[in-house]
Amino acid sequence: MRVLLHACCGPCSIATVRMLRDEGHEVTALFLNPNIHPVQEYLRRREAMQEVSRRLDLPVIWRDAEYDPVAWMRQMAWREQPGVRCRVCYATRLERTHSIAARGGYDAFTTSLLYSRRQRHEVIAEVGHGIAAAISDVPTPFLYRDFRTGWQEGIDTSREWGIHRQNYCGCLYSEAERFARDFAKVAGVKEERENI
Ligand code: SF4
């Protein structure tokens, strides 16, 4: 099958692409991630994806024109809790992937988000299948796979290739949550100083 793979980043795409190719699929990646904050981090992840594309001889559709952090933040207003915002974040990206796959005549679409052990795997699967079922006038099914089995391979290869490996999911909220403890330590020191 011709499969359109939504690629959230380079490291998550490595094992994902290999597994799909092992099944005999022809894979094209789609880099469409308006969630990434800040812009410099977007550029770093884009560069890593370029390197993966080069190493794996992987065609990539770049949708940089759809990177609009202000619009993304507006969309998340009052939905900031992780359980809510992540579902919206997955749906936003997978709806676009489905749309591009349908118009491009692909046989199926999927996402490298299914590779990460840190993502809400069942929610991603539910959202992907839901989008394919809801927009059934052009049937482009969601190809579910548990790419997490390639977790270590993805880590080892991305380290070997020296590509950027992010240490938070992507959005401003996830960065704040990831470094909350570090921030609290600093804030604690400041408070002590202010008390002196
Ligand atoms: S934590 Fe990750 S999946 Fe959830 S909203 Fe932020 S970028 Fe999207």
**What per-residue confidence (pLDDT) applies to 37?**
97
**What per-residue confidence (pLDDT) applies to 189?**
61
| 2-166 fold | Rossmann fold (3.40.50)
Looking at the CA of residue 85, tell me the nearest atom of ligand 1: 5
In this structure, the residue with its CA closest to atom 4 of ligand 1 is: 86
**What per-residue confidence (pLDDT) applies to 53?**
98
Q: State pTM to two decimals.
A: 0.93
* Whole-number Å distance between alpha carbons of 59 and 45: 16
Q: What are the average pLDDT values for consecutive 10-residue runs of the chain, which has 196 residues?
A: 98 98 98 97 98 98 96 95 95 97 97 97 98 83 98 98 96 93 79 45
Neighbours of 157 (CB within 10 A): 19
- Residue spans per domain, the chain: 2-166
Q: 88 alpha carbon to ligand 1 midpoint, in Å? A: 9
CB 36 within 8 A of CB 42: yes
Q: Is 86 annotated as a binding residue?
A: yes
Residues in contact with ligand 1 by the CB-under-6-Å rule are 35, 85-86, 89, 169-171, 173-174
Neighbours of 161 (CB within 10 A): 15
Record the tokens describing residue 8, joined without a space: 């959230």
